[in-house]
Amino acid sequence: MKALVWHGTGDVRYEDLPTPTAGADEVLLDVRLAGICGSDLHGYRGHPGPRVPPLVLGHEVVASAGPQRYTLYPLIGCGACARCLEGSENLCAKWQLIGMHRHGVFAEQLTAPRSCLVPVPAELEDQRAVLAEPLACAVGALAPYGVGPGTQVVVIGCGPIGLLVLSLAVRAQADVVALDPVRERRLHAERLGAGRVVADPDELPPANADLVIDAAGFESTWRAALSLVRAGGDVVVLGLGQAEGPFPMAALIRRGLRLRGQFAYSRAEFATALDQLARRDLDISWMTVAPLADGAQAFEHLISDPGSYTKIALAPG
């Protein structure tokens, strides 16, 4: 079979690999569409984390086994701890991720644990269903806050996750401001319903938002988030552009702010994302579909030309 294989920093290649064989409690799937996530770009940029090349990356997918289409809940927990038993494998101390700890979805076929399969509703087309995983991240980011009419929300970073968070907040009738330095991404945010879109945090009133979602995750955006949220407000860091760095702890303490890191999603949040997509009213014009054979070029586009390419999904065949 053909697959896009990551060999290290800046190096992904379209290659032949043996067809995988499903083990016990696994299913062999034919990939229909696979989305490139920001986390896939970490390895490409030279921040591999636990990834070990050569590796087929990717965990956002629509695939089929016979006539049934599936997306994947791509986190694999131990299955025995309290977090797994409550459906939150993302918080399992031993979690693993498809496309990180085992071969992922940038291939014509893959094997996945049967427990990861989530059926795709018949009325939901592949280009929407492939967004279930990133949309679940957005659902998880907003879930604790009761966002609704009158809630002042700032979204920092209008990449795919930021745009999906923005879409859910707009759908909940919140007052949404989007912040991104890239003009084209600001235009996407406007089309998705942001009430105001700016390039720089200095353009916004300080200490005004009820909730700030940092979908970028750099020291500069951490600081911006804390400056924009009101006293006693909430900040969610969802992006992981920077793993560590100096942090203004005094501002957090003296203004009584609540800071939360959001990693992935529970199974219930994943199901909610599919339900949201089934409404078929989400604008996905910011997503591009490219052949799997052009995957190396797609990775480079996302790195070097974020204005033209916000999200790319790869299609085998």
Are 123 and 144 in a shared domain? no
Largest CA distance in the chain: 58
φ/ψ of residue 70, rounded to 5 = -135, 150
Q: Which parts of the chain sit beneath pLDDT 50?
A: none
Q: What is the pLDDT of residues 132-181, one digit of tens each?
A: 999 999 999 999 999 999 999 999 999 999 999 999 999 999 999 999 99
- One-letter identity of residue 285: S
The answer as to whether 35 is a domain residue is yes
pLDDT score, position 134: 98
Cα 100 off chain centre by: 14
Domain check: are 114 and 142 in the same one?
no
Note the pLDDT tens digit of each residue in 290-305.
999 999 999 999 999 9
Phi then psi dihedrals of residue 239, to 5 deg: -80, 155
What is the domain extent for residue 104? 2-131+284-315
Taking the CB of residue 47, how many other CB atoms lie within 10 A of it? 15
* pLDDT at position 131: 98
Evaluate whether 63 touches 70 at the Cβ level (below 8 Å): yes
Residue 70 lies in a domain: yes
The CATH number covering residue 217 comes to: 3.40.50.720
Specify if 266 maps to a domain: no
CA–CA gap between residue 200 and residue 305 (Å, rounded): 20
Structure tokens at 147: 């966002």
Q: Give domain status of residue 278, yes or no.
A: no
**Opening angle at CA 194, ends 189 and 196, nearest 5:** 105
Q: Looking at residue 317, what is its pLDDT? A: 83
Q: Are residues 101 and 177 in the same domain?
A: no
